[in-house]
Structure 1
Amino acid sequence: MTRRLMLLDTASLYFRAYFGVPDSVRAPDGTPVNAVRGLLDFIARLVLDHRPDDLVACMDEDWRPAWRVELIPTYKAHRVAEEAADGPDTEVVPDTLSPQVPVIEDVLDALGIARVGAPGYEADDVIGTLTDRATGPVDIVTGDRDLFQLIDDARGVRVLYPVKGMATLAAFDEAALRAKYGVDGPGYADLALLRGDPSDGLPGVPGIGEKTAARLLERHGDLAGILAALDAPGRSAFTPAQRKRLTEARPYLAVAPRVVRVARDVPLPEHDAALPAAPRAPEALDALNARWGLGGSLTRLLTALQR
């Protein structure tokens, strides 16, 4: 039987839950648990609406891998906390979100929902690797457009992208991706590195915006085709301004693909991706529920899993 796999870009989703659920949602001791409860409710809806057989919460073991920073030093640099300047990078996270992350991890573990990360890699890389390993259809749930590069109709890989907080999801397949950006899945990575992305500290090619990048990719196929045309003698395929900008950006274009494209060969720990029908550690889950007041959010997820 073909099994449907759902992969959660967990940090992306709990950030959205944090900002989408009021911080008046609190534990009995007054500690905010809005991200915890919002994420549990979101997973419950995903399970009920999309009926995955397997589900993995993919984690950022390293949100800013050194090997990416070595290639592009500005990569996510604006997100580094000032106090981390002389030590390991610490991501800027709202004060009331940071304490909720270990609670999320403990609740997922007690439920028996697989939680997978790998040292030196981001959740995107875990998702890329698990997608490549999958033998059936894959739903990737993320608020990060970088993962559009994994969309593949032939393999049944699509992205479910929250468009209004956590309430509305847009399903992106190849047709939706082409309609919005003019590229296919692999082409999205080339589009992103040409256009740049301030939220990730990717400079892009100055003067090459999204529409120009899409036209160049349509004309030349991919980044390699653009660079080959740039080097080709004879009639120019570029305006003088485009040729100048692309030529000046050659050092960036030489390293950007490795930074922007997700890894697909990450060594991952053994895990059981099967969606649990009942909690793996019910006593631990009861204790977490009592401590953090997870209430209806936990009940709704348990009901969804039983169904």
Structure 2
Amino acid sequence: MTTRSLRKCLLLDTASLYFRAYYGVPDSVRAPDGTPVNAVRGLLEFITRLVQDHRPDELVACMDADWRPHWRVELIPSYKAHRVAVETEAGPDEEEVPDTLSPQVPVIEDVLDAFGIARVGVAGYEADDVIGTLTARATGPVDIVTGDRDLYQLVDDARGIRVLYPLKGVGMMQATDEAVLREKYGVDGPGYADLALLRGDPSDGLPGVPGIGEKTAAKLLAAYGDLAGIMAAVDDPASGLTPSQRRRLDESRPYVAVAPKVVRVADDVPLPAFDPALPREPRDPAGLDELAARWGLGRAVGRLRAELASASPHE
């Protein structure tokens, strides 16, 4: 990423957004040959709206090169296990994806590349880890666009880091800062990772600590500061933990010992060199026109193309 200060960056959790688009745009949206392109069109509409509303200087589409990294599965074997379609020895397991979405993913990648929108994925890491690393390196404000609450852990008012969380359909976003996190969950950004670890997350195959739900986790974090403080309280007979809480946390020590590495996003991914600058014109105009015609994306491509051409940096 550029080291120029105060450049506003928009980081897309791309798979999260095209899944949202797939379910938010009717599958009657099809290419001339009848192939569904609802996820493609919906993602383009997402990006157009984001550029229009937020005027970033930099835009990066972060990709899942490995949606279920082996190093996370080694620590917690249940991690995303329920979403595995096919296990593989040589590479990442195949994720269960709707039949009409899978063929759209290469089209999304081709269209982003033709526009010249930076697309970054790193073998062995999830898009979350790419986002975590880019956020750690950023020198200006960052908006992370995701439908995955796991990334709330990166919210940091002091550094101008927010999460834009899609609320409904395509385009409506909730800007999540520390005030929103405290109001909804009683924690700050780093505290959200500890809360998620304690509470568990069935969608990611994280068991959590039995008997410790979201409200109890928030109360424990308020009382003891962080996960380390809570576990120290387990060993302190004078702490205010109930006998049940103490027992359950003590029995969950093996999980608590490894879960932080699974839940917390990496911030040290070896990223390739790339240009994050918001493209003002397509990298491959002819290729983009061909893709738009082939897949029936003329209007969606045209709107984003016009928005990029007229985009001015944020003030």
Asked whether the two chains share a fold, i.e. TM above 0.5, the reply is: yes
TM-superposed CA distance for 1:167, in Å, is: 3.3
Cα distance in 2 for partners of 1:22, 1:115 equals 26
Cα distance in 1 for partners of 2:235, 2:194 equals 18
Cα distance in 1 for partners of 2:81, 2:143 equals 30
Cα distance in 2 for partners of 1:229, 1:45 equals 47
Any conservation in 1 of the 2:47–2:304 contact (CA below 8 Å)? yes
Cα distance in 1 for partners of 2:95, 2:213 equals 28
- Matching residue of 2:313: none
Please list, as runs of the form range in 1=range in 2, the aligned pairs for 1:37-186 lying within 5 A after superposition.
37-81=41-85, 83-84=86-87, 88-186=92-190
Paired AA for residue 277 in structure 1? R
- Matching residue of 1:201: 205
Structure 2 unaligned residues grouped into runs of 5+: 311-315
RMSD: 1.1
Paired AA for residue 71 in structure 2? W
TM-superposed CA distance for 1:237, in Å, is: 2.0
Moved more, 285-294 or 128-137: 285-294
Q: Is 2:254 aligned against 1:279?
A: no
- Matching residue of 2:259: 256
* 1:195-244 CA distance string (max 9 Å, x none): 00000000000100000000000000000000111112x42321011011
Paired AA for residue 189 in structure 1? A
* 1:142-191 CA distance string (max 9 Å, x none): 00000000000000000000111223211000001100000000000000
Moved more, 14-23 or 295-304: 295-304
Tell me the TM-score normalized by structure 1. Answer: 0.97
* 1:53-89 CA distance string (max 9 Å, x none): 00000000000000000000000000001x4377751
- Matching residue of 2:242: 239
Cα distance in 2 for partners of 1:278, 1:259 equals 39
Any conservation in 2 of the 1:23–1:32 contact (CA below 8 Å)? yes
Q: Report the 3-state secondary structure (helix = DSSP H, G, I; strand = E; otherwise coil) of the residue aligned with 1:160.
A: strand
Structure 1 unaligned residues grouped into runs of 5+: none
Match of 2:31 among 23, 27, 33: 27
Q: Report the 3-state secondary structure (helix = DSSP H, G, I; strand = E; otherwise coil) of the residue aligned with 1:213.
A: helix
Any conservation in 1 of the 2:144–2:163 contact (CA below 8 Å)? yes
Q: Report the 3-state secondary structure (helix = DSSP H, G, I; strand = E; otherwise coil) of the residue aligned with 2:95.
A: coil
Q: Report the 3-state secondary structure (helix = DSSP H, G, I; strand = E; otherwise coil) of the residue aligned with 1:275.
A: coil
* 1:88-135 CA distance string (max 9 Å, x none): 511000000000000000000000000001000000000000001000
Q: Report the 3-state secondary structure (helix = DSSP H, G, I; strand = E; otherwise coil) of the residue aligned with 1:159.
A: strand
Instruction: Give % identity.
Output: 76
Any conservation in 2 of the 1:230–1:237 contact (CA below 8 Å)? no
Q: Is 2:46 aligned against 1:11?
A: no
Q: Report the 3-state secondary structure (helix = DSSP H, G, I; strand = E; otherwise coil) of the residue aligned with 2:94.
A: coil
Match of 2:222 among 218, 222, 226: 218
Tell me the TM-score normalized by structure 2. Answer: 0.95
Q: Report the 3-state secondary structure (helix = DSSP H, G, I; strand = E; otherwise coil) of the residue aligned with 1:280.
A: coil
Q: Is 2:308 aligned against 1:305?
A: yes
